Structure 1
Amino acid sequence: MKKILITGSAGFIGYNLAKNLIQNKEAKVLGVDSLNNAYDNNLKKLRLKDLDSSENFRFKNLDLSNQDSYKEIEGEKIDIVVHLAARAGVRQSFRDPKKYILDNTVSTANLAEYVKKEEIKKFLIASTSSVYGDSGESAMKENHDEKYPPPSVYATSKISGELMAKTILDGTGTCIQIPRFFTVYGPFGRPDMSILRFIHWIYSDTEILLYGDGHQKRSFTYIDDVIKGLKTLFLTEESGIFNIGSDKTVSLNKVISIIESELNKKSKIDYQPRAFKDVDVVIPNLDRMNQLNWKPTTSIEIGVSETIKWYLKYVNEMKDIKFKFEYEK
């Protein structure tokens, strides 16, 4: 059984990947997370509580930007490192650039040093569709359509970490794969992301904070499709960047309409000025992942429905989760 190190294991994608691997008895997972306050820690603890019940999961609370932290995971004989730990968010990155540099750039460089020292053969580094900026109607292709300079502090911090890792590991034989995610949503999602926020606000009869007119579109990608994409990369030795996202875009207004229909409730919307650096649309070119026989299969209607089912199961726990940042109050 392979041993996989998942950073950000208390995060949205990290939790779901760890859960999938241990449920299917496909790997032993060593989870690492700093449990920082980028968003409500109660949700991170809820995810960890679910994972801790498995004998094939171990957790360490580590700050990857601190080089001393790596002493705690030396000699673990890791087969694959999946680096999902990051501080996400375009708007927030302009408010506190230093934290983004530490959590995204410095941490990734430190982790690359660890991979090199431990002679780990495969290193996955999560990337973001934010590096493409606004795509218009064109599908964004890896190594071709990235914006330079990057369109946000967040995008810059992520690309910088990727470049550092490539430089540090050059000539080592480590296979570096960079899955680039497009607006992931689903059960145990982030409370600062639109779909889970909208579900919570509509269910609880709270005004939705909507930045702009709601016509902006996203390639909303259901978490199960993302996990299948990551596991597809485990099976290939191809290196490089791989877009993992839906090739069907949906407007925020459409998402709100689907949630209203599922919950049989009408939303109340508080229209706010368009968020700084918010894009109209971003669409992935999926040729590379299609060649590996992966494609997204979950429609927005099914994905939202499954997310609502999960939310209603955990509705009491959701009462303790903060769905707004301090600056939004």
Structure 2
Amino acid sequence: MKTILVTGAGGFIGKNLCATLEQHKDIEILRYDLGNTPEELAAFIARADFVFHLAGVNRPQYQEEFEKGNRDFTIRLLEMLENTGRAVPIAMTSSIQAVLDNPYGRSKKAAEDAVFEWSNRTGIPAYVYRLPNVFGKWCRPNYNSVVATFCHNIARGLPIQINNPATKLTLVYIDDVVAELIAAMNGMAHIGNDGFCHVPRTFTVTLQGLADILYSFAESRSNLMMPNFGDDLERYLYATYVSYLPEDGFSYLLEKKQDDRGWLAEFIKSKQFGQIFISRTKPGITRGNHWHHTKVEKFLVIEGEAVIRFRKIGSEKVIEYRVSGDSPEVVDIPAGYTHSITNIGNSDVITIFWADEVFNPERADTYYLEV
């Protein structure tokens, strides 16, 4: 069993790190945060095999708190570790702002220097990360994260402020940060020539580009267009955005096109994977009787009984597939075949349809022809 001390365990990175460490059955987590006492910290340090030092001050009421919460606390932590007489490695998260000549930057730089000096003197491994803008779930909005603030406000229809749209941001995803911290714990940190550790993958986006991506997520509920999940930045931003939805805003209604046959509703669309929609069809009703030059589809009946019929263009031969929601069976709809689906049961048929492209009424590639 390995015992891990996490300072700043209640913060953004701390919560995500602890949630991941909890999945390791051979790890005991000692959580230290603002609510703990100095005595508890000393007791934790006496038991720790590794320390993640994530605690820090970045928006205090008084400037003096920068030095107290960043430099002084780090020095005290290092002294307590040394006093145990054991070699307990430490990984510390700092900030790219440590290079700036302001109270926050100077306090973070002083904390870094203290860790490096301690490591050089004792020979105990220390890993210092100057992190760029970290984003992901559980980050506090309207505090010090532009991604969290934008996600929170856009998800609620609130305005956002962009002073310089061309400002470039370097972002790093929280899961990548956690993975790298755990790698450091296992002695596999990514260490640069300057002695600082780093997360191997980062993303670059302008402030306006970030806003545009997040606004597209909000609009996806009305236009049903999903992000490009082949782009990791968009995928991670989408996961982040959805985590900031208000608790009474997790759901949204789809537009149903209803007639005497039943109804049909589009579900989601994407330029990369096409379109998915769902239908409810009454007994005896047939849908389709059309064909496509290039478009391909998949039909999946999830409730009821139906027959799917095909006829190759120019042929008289009709092919039938009987399908039932009791035994989910996907049927491919090839190009060049007119096709239809008929409810042959006594109850409504519910079908999920997939098409490889989003429907474009100006280039529908859909031609009526009875099977």
Amino acid corresponding to residue 204 of structure 1 in structure 2: R
Per-residue CA deviation, residues 120-179 of structure 1 (Å, 9 max, x unaligned), is 421111111113xxxxxxxxxxxxxxx4xx332212101101212333454323111112
Amino acid corresponding to residue 172 of structure 1 in structure 2: T
Secondary structure of the 1:208 match is coil
Amino acid corresponding to residue 226 of structure 1 in structure 2: V
Q: TM-score, normalised by structure 1?
A: 0.65
Tell me the residue number matched to 2:239.
306
Secondary structure of the 1:232 match is helix
Q: TM-score, normalised by structure 2?
A: 0.58
| 12-21 vs 121-130, greater mean Cα deviation | 121-130
Q: CA deviation at 1:68?
A: 5.4
| 19-28 vs 67-76, greater mean Cα deviation | 67-76
Tell me the residue number matched to 1:50.
none
Q: Answer whether contact 2:2 2:27 (CA < 8 A) is retained.
A: yes
Tell me the residue number matched to 2:111.
161
Q: CA deviation at 1:187?
A: 0.6
1:101 and 2:67 aligned: yes
Secondary structure of the 2:56 match is coil
Q: Answer whether contact 2:93 2:130 (CA < 8 A) is retained.
A: yes
How far apart in 1 are the matches of 2:124 and 2:20? 25
How far apart in 2 are the matches of 1:79 and 1:173? 16
Tell me the residue number matched to 2:125.
175
Check 1:155–1:167 CA distance in 2 against 1; reply closer, same or farther (3 A cut).
Answer: same
Q: Answer whether contact 2:49 2:88 (CA < 8 A) is retained.
A: yes
Q: CA deviation at 1:301?
A: 0.6
Q: CA deviation at 1:264?
A: 0.8
Check 1:198–1:245 CA distance in 2 against 1; reply closer, same or farther (3 A cut).
Answer: farther
How far apart in 2 are the matches of 1:102 and 1:111? 12
Check 1:169–1:69 CA distance in 2 against 1; reply closer, same or farther (3 A cut).
Answer: farther
Q: After the TM superposition, which residues 258-297 of structure 1 pair with which residues of structure 2 at under 5 Å, given as runs?
A: 258-264=213-219
Q: Answer whether contact 1:82 1:123 (CA < 8 A) is retained.
A: yes
Indicate which of 24, 27, 52 corresponds to 1:82: 52
Q: Answer whether contact 1:219 1:245 (CA < 8 A) is retained.
A: no
Q: CA deviation at 1:218?
A: 1.0
Task: Report % sequence identity.
Answer: 25
How far apart in 2 are the matches of 1:237 and 1:207? 43
Q: CA deviation at 1:182?
A: 1.2
1:198 and 2:147 aligned: no
Amino acid corresponding to residue 80 of structure 1 in structure 2: F
1:29 and 2:32 aligned: no
Q: Answer whether contact 1:79 1:122 (CA < 8 A) is retained.
A: yes
Q: After the TM superposition, which residues 10-159 of structure 1 pair with which residues of structure 2 at under 5 Å, given as runs?
A: 10-34=10-34, 61-62=35-36, 70-73=41-44, 75-76=46-47, 78-88=48-58, 92=59, 96-118=62-84, 119-131=86-98, 147=99, 150-159=100-109
Check 1:110–1:171 CA distance in 2 against 1; reply closer, same or farther (3 A cut).
Answer: same
How far apart in 1 are the matches of 2:97 and 2:154? 27
Instruction: Name the count of aligned residue pairs.
Output: 235
Secondary structure of the 1:198 match is helix
How far apart in 1 are the matches of 2:161 and 2:186? 41
Taking only aligned residues, the RMSD between alpha carbons, in angstroms, comes to 2.7
Q: Answer whether contact 2:131 2:198 (CA < 8 A) is retained.
A: yes
Tell me the residue number matched to 1:54.
none
How far apart in 2 are the matches of 1:116 and 1:12? 28
1:9 and 2:12 aligned: no
Secondary structure of the 2:122 match is coil
Q: Answer whether contact 2:119 2:125 (CA < 8 A) is retained.
A: no
Tell me the residue number matched to 2:275.
none
Q: Answer whether contact 1:181 1:245 (CA < 8 A) is retained.
A: no
Q: Answer whether contact 1:183 1:245 (CA < 8 A) is retained.
A: no
Larger Rg over CA atoms: 2
Q: Answer whether contact 1:180 1:244 (CA < 8 A) is retained.
A: no
Check 1:218–1:26 CA distance in 2 against 1; reply closer, same or farther (3 A cut).
Answer: farther
How far apart in 2 are the matches of 1:24 and 1:69? 23
Check 1:156–1:21 CA distance in 2 against 1; reply closer, same or farther (3 A cut).
Answer: same
Q: CA deviation at 1:214?
A: 2.2
Q: Answer whether contact 1:202 1:265 (CA < 8 A) is retained.
A: no
Secondary structure of the 2:203 match is coil
1:252 and 2:204 aligned: no
How far apart in 2 are the matches of 1:73 and 1:169? 20
Which one has a larger percent helix, Structure 1 or Structure 2? Answer: 1
Q: Which has the higher contact order (CA 8 A, sep 6+)?
A: 1
Please, which runs of 5 or more residues in structure 2 have no aligned partner?
222-229, 250-371
